């Protein structure tokens, strides 16, 4: 892990530069530019709100914001994991000429998606007074929740990066798995209200993203305290995945170019 922190300090400028360059190139050919990072989850929010409220006649208090929070958090996680699976292959031309610690590539992806999520969440701050959401001091819980989400996401990304080098079709498998987890994470429904009995409890506590998304909603919308015991477990799980992933990448990264 000492090497990781040294590399983080050494490549900090490169991470920031690459993140800015990737974000600029992503919106370069778009008329909407960075507004698309808000419009993307906003449009999906409208679709899910229509289906839940109009078609099924069911929803939650402050439902549009409820869905928007879930979509933004989920997009950060899923897009980071999806891109990390094939990121070594994407940077093949660069890493074959210049040595870059491969987990640095993950940090660039994390920074990109974190910035997009931050831009999108500015709309949440605008929507709170519009929907007359009573804001409480529990809103401070979003800081440790976001931090835990970042650590857990990074840990997952390191694992799939290594596996993706050796399994060319892993991206397809990950896409299916993420779609399943999406429906199990309560993006457009409340797990505790819609899944009866012990199954709802298990689904909420055994699915880290479901718990984190539910925690964000409780903190921002409903003035409820997050379960810090479960949050700590997810944070430690993220740390464990990160340590395992970093060590595995450091051990095998010299062979990655040969494999791909």
The model's pTM is 0.89
pLDDT digits (tens, 9 = 90+) for 179-222: 999 988 888 877 777 666 665 666 677 889 999 999 999 999 99
pLDDT surpassing 60 at residue 25: yes
pLDDT surpassing 60 at residue 56: no
Task: Please state, as a whole number, how many other Cβ atoms lie within 10 Å of the Cβ of residue 7.
Answer: 18
Separation between Cα atoms, residue 75 and residue 43, nearest integer Å:
13
Separation between Cα atoms, residue 190 and residue 120, nearest integer Å:
21
Separation between Cα atoms, residue 101 and residue 249, nearest integer Å:
8
> What percent of the chain shows pLDDT beyond 90?
38
pLDDT surpassing 60 at residue 57: no
Mean pLDDT of the chain: 84
Collect all residues with Cβ–Cβ distance below 8 Å to 256 and sequence separation of at least 6: 88, 95, 102, 165
| Nearest CA-CA partner of 89 in 75, 108, 74, 102 | 102
């Amino acid at each position: 892990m000492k090497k990781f922190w040294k590399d983080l300090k050494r490549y900090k400028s490169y991470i920031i530069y690459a993140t800015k360059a990737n974000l600029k190139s992503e919106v370069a050919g778009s008329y909407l530019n960075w507004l698309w990072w808000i419009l993307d989850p906003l449009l999906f929010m409208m679709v899910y709100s229509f289906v839940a409220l109009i078609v099924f006649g069911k929803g939650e208090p402050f439902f549009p914001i409820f869905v928007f929070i879930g979509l933004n958090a989920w997009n950060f996680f899923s897009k980071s994991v999806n891109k990390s699976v094939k990121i070594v292959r994407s940077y093949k031309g660069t890493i074959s000429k210049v040595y870059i610690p491969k987990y640095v590539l993950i940090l660039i992806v994390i920074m990109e998606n974190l910035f997009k999520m931050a831009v999108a969440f500015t709309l949440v701050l605008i929507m709170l007074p519009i929907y007359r959401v009573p804001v409480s001091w529990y809103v401070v819980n979003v800081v440790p929740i976001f931090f835990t989400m970042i650590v857990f996401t990074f840990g997952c990304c390191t694992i799939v990066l290594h596996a993706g080098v050796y399994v060319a079709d892993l991206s397809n498998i990950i896409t299916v798995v993420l779609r399943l987890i999406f429906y199990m994470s309560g993006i457009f429904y409340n797990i505790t209200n819609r899944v009866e009995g012990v199954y709802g409890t298990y689904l909420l506590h055994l699915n880290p993203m479901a718990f984190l998304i539910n925690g964000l909603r409780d903190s921002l919308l409903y003035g409820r305290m997050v379960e810090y015991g479960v949050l700590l477990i997810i944070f430690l799980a993220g740390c464990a995945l990160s340590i395992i992933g970093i060590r595995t990448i450091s051990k095998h990264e010299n062979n990655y170019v040969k494999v791909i």
